[in-house]
Amino acid sequence: MKALVFPGQGAQFVGMGKDLYDTNPVAHEMFERANEILGFRITDIMFNGTDEELKQTRVTQPAIFLHSVILAKTLDLKPDMVAGHSLGEFSALVASGALSFDDGLKLVSARAMAMQKACEVKPSTMAAVLALPDEKVEEICGSTTEGVVVCANYNCPGQIVISGEIEGIDAACARLLEAGAKRALKLKVGGAFHSPCMEPARAELAEAIDHTQFHTPVCPIYQNVDALPHTDTAEIKGNLIAQLTAPVRWTQSVRNMIADGATEFIEIGPGKVLQGLVSKIDKAVAVSGHQ
């Protein structure tokens, strides 16, 4: 069975999507439609901007979404199941028919703006932790008193991203290294995604989702919040809202997809991060990508 997976924030690069725009008429039309919807020429930043311009959350999230969704449209692959890492969940929903292209882009833009605002409320960040058991990372995060710290991304065995207030992250990183972590490295991100620090963005995203029409997807989507397959639109919407402050259970999602019959994972969108993670989770499955 074929599983399509879609990357999240951090996979962006200058020049992303330009070949598609230049060579495929359908892609060209979709990119121009996106410029209209967003009210600025995101294609100029994607194709010819600077790394700094592309790193702004309000640009990064729609850019990765557009690259992934438009590429998927031109490939016309028929998935048996889909999943996306954080932001990638919105790409997966469009690819599975649960959201229209226009509505998906509007939601991603609203999400990006809400998250940007939440990042500005309180200084916060994220850090990658390597080579410690999940339980040990959870224990240290839970016992940190210097500020909010939680596990945000369960990426693959031995790789967790933690998220929270800067003081808490600094303290937790020091303890994680003492406990034997190979690395506890702060990431260059705008804030503490998938943590309670994103609470101010939840209401804004919830309102946008409530006013958006969702359709029953053509195949199950394995959602980040519980790593389980969903086709019910009410459940999908609730999980999308909860995702902002809850961890991304990527390891569990991939394992559940494999248990349910996935034998081939195809990453659609910029970069190869998810291909690497899937291979670390289970070396036996076939992994490939289109970017």
- Residue 96 sits in a domain whose CATH number is 3.40.366.10
Give me the number of domains the chain comprises: 2
Q: Which of 142, 162, 186 is the last residue of a domain?
A: 186
Residue 17 and residue 114 share a domain: yes
Q: Quick one: pLDDT at residue 161?
A: 97
Q: Which of 167, 186, 205 is the last residue of a domain?
A: 186
> Are 98 and 129 part of one and the same domain?
no
pLDDT for position 187: 87
pLDDT value of position 190:
76
User: How high is the mean pLDDT of the chain?
Assistant: 94
Tell me: do 107 and 19 sit in the same domain: yes
Buried b vs exposed e over 163-186: b needs ≥16 C-beta within 10 Å? bbbbbbbbbbbebbeeeebeebee
What whole-number distance in Å separates Cα of residue 70 and Cα of residue 79?
16
- What phi, psi does 69 have (nearest 5°)? -70, -40
Q: Name, in order, each residue with C-beta under 8 angstroms of 70's C-beta and a sequence gap of 6 or more.
A: 17, 20, 27, 30, 31
Q: 263 lies in a domain? A: yes
Rounded-to-integer distance, Cα 288 and Cα 198, Å: 33
Q: Which residue has the higher pLDDT, 150 or 122?
A: 150
CATH code where residue 144 lies: 3.30.70.250
- 51-87 burial code (b ≥16 CB/10 A, e <16): eeebbebbbbbbbbbbbbbbbbbeeeeebbbbbbbbb
> What pLDDT sits at residue 214?
98
> Two tokens at 251?
């390891």
In angstroms and rounded to an integer, the radius of gyration of the C-alpha atoms of the chain is: 18
- The whole domain housing 152 covers 121-186
Q: Tell me the C-alpha to C-alpha distance, in Å, between residue 120 and each of 165, 197, 200, 213, 255.
A: 12, 10, 11, 30, 36
- Asked if 153 and 192 touch (Cβ cutoff 8 Å), the reply is no
255 pLDDT band, cuts 50/70/90, is very high
Evaluate if pTM is beyond 0.85. Answer: yes
Mean of the pLDDT values across residues 1-27? 94
Q: What is the distance in angstroms between the CA of the first residue and the CA of the last residue of the chain?
A: 21
Both 90 and 44 in one domain: the answer is yes
- Same domain membership, residue 156 and residue 41: no
Domain boundary, last residue among 162, 186, 210 = 186
Same domain (yes/no): 88, 213: yes
Q: Is 121's pLDDT higher than 90?
A: no
Distance CA 223, CA 185 (A): 27
Same domain, 159 and 263: no
Return the residue matching tokens 């939680």: 150
Tell me what pLDDT residue 122 has: 81
pLDDT at 188 over 80: no
Residues 157 and 106 in one domain: no
Give the confidence band of 56 by pLDDT, cuts at 50, 70, 90.
confident
Name the token pair of 204: 């804004």
Distance of CA 203 to the CA centre of its chain: 19
Asked whether residue 47 is domain-assigned, the answer is yes
Domain assignment present for 17: yes
What would the mean pLDDT of 273-287 be, rounded to a whole number? 95
pLDDT confidence of residue 52: 87
E strand spans, the chain:
2-6, 81-84, 124-130, 149-156, 159-165, 183-186, 221-222, 229-230, 264-268, 286-290
User: What are 64-105's pLDDT values in tens digits?
Assistant: 999 999 999 999 889 999 999 999 999 999 999 999 999 999
Annotated catalytic residues are 86, 194
> Looking at residues 244-259, what average pLDDT do you find?
97
- Same-domain status, 109 and 152: no
Question: Can you give the pLDDT at residue 120?
Answer: 85
